[in-house]
Amino acid sequence: MQRRSERALRKRKKANVGGTRGSFTHRRGISLWRGKTSMFTDEFYEALGGPEFSGIVLHLGCQDGVETVRLASRGVRVVGVDDSRDAVANARLRALRSRRTARFDVASMTNLPYKDAAFDALFSKFKLERQSIPKVMAEVRRVLKSGGIAFIVMGYRSIDVKRERAVNQGFSKDPLIRQHFDLQVFEDSLDGFNVLAKDFFETFAFKPLPPHKHVDVAYVLQKV
């Protein structure tokens, strides 16, 4: 499982877009959000073992169900949960229109309405306040079966492309637009998990101006 998860995160060609930091490999992503969505769900599906996987997946923070429905289209049994009633209503409608089977629930990520060890795997793209992270990860640990895989993606930072070019040329000092996430806070909450793989992904956006790139960090975790 560990080799499969590492291979899933490294199957795309690596590109030197800022070098490496420790064991992290910086890689060039793709330009469209929908493309990025499919990239992460495809990575997750492969990490699970593809068609061989027969368990139940929890999509934590499913929003309007784009990724949930994409997983369901692969034959995955999936439950999506979000704290927004409007988002869950849209997700149910999306699944109905796509003729895909998926369950959707409204609940807080810090108080999930599921039994202990209810899920074989979990997929999530976090957008959390710093203080919420330990509580959410405690719930992830609770609802995931022993040996279960958690694939978690978080928005890490946004960088001004032009300003970064100026930094590389020695004309500027800081290309950072916004720091979205504190990795240390997240990693401090990983008691009870083995980190099978972690990687950075870069995706480019031209709106709103100025042109910028988002840096996401993805973790593949396995519950001990």
- Cα–Cα distance for residue pair 52/46, rounded to 1 Å: 10
pLDDT at 126: 73
pLDDT at 179: 55
Angle, vertex CA 153, rays to CA 151 and CA 159, nearest 5 = 160
Per-residue pLDDT of the chain (224 residues; tens, 9 = 90+): 555 555 555 544 333 223 223 232 333 333 333 345 567 888 899 889 899 999 999 999 999 999 999 999 999 999 999 999 999 999 999 999 999 999 999 999 999 999 999 999 999 987 666 678 889 999 999 999 999 999 998 876 666 655 555 555 555 555 555 555 667 888 899 999 999 998 887 766 665 656 666 677 888 999 99
Classified by CATH at the fold level, domain 2-16+31-156+181-200+215-223 comes out as Rossmann fold (3.40.50)
Contacts of 125 (CB under 8 A, 6+ apart): 40, 61, 67, 152, 153, 154, 155, 216
- Cα–Cα distance for residue pair 164/64, rounded to 1 Å: 33
* E strand spans, the chain: 20-21, 24-28, 56-60, 77-82, 103-106, 119-126, 144-160, 176-179, 193-205, 212-223
The closest of 61, 82, 72, 49 to 124, measured between CA atoms, is 61
Domain residues of the chain, as ranges?
2-16+31-156+181-200+215-223
Residue with tokens 């930091």: 21
pLDDT at 35: 44
pLDDT at 172: 52
The number of C-alpha atoms within 13 Å of 120 and in the hemisphere containing its C-beta is 13
**SS3 assignment, position 83:** coil
pTM: 0.74
pLDDT at 36: 52
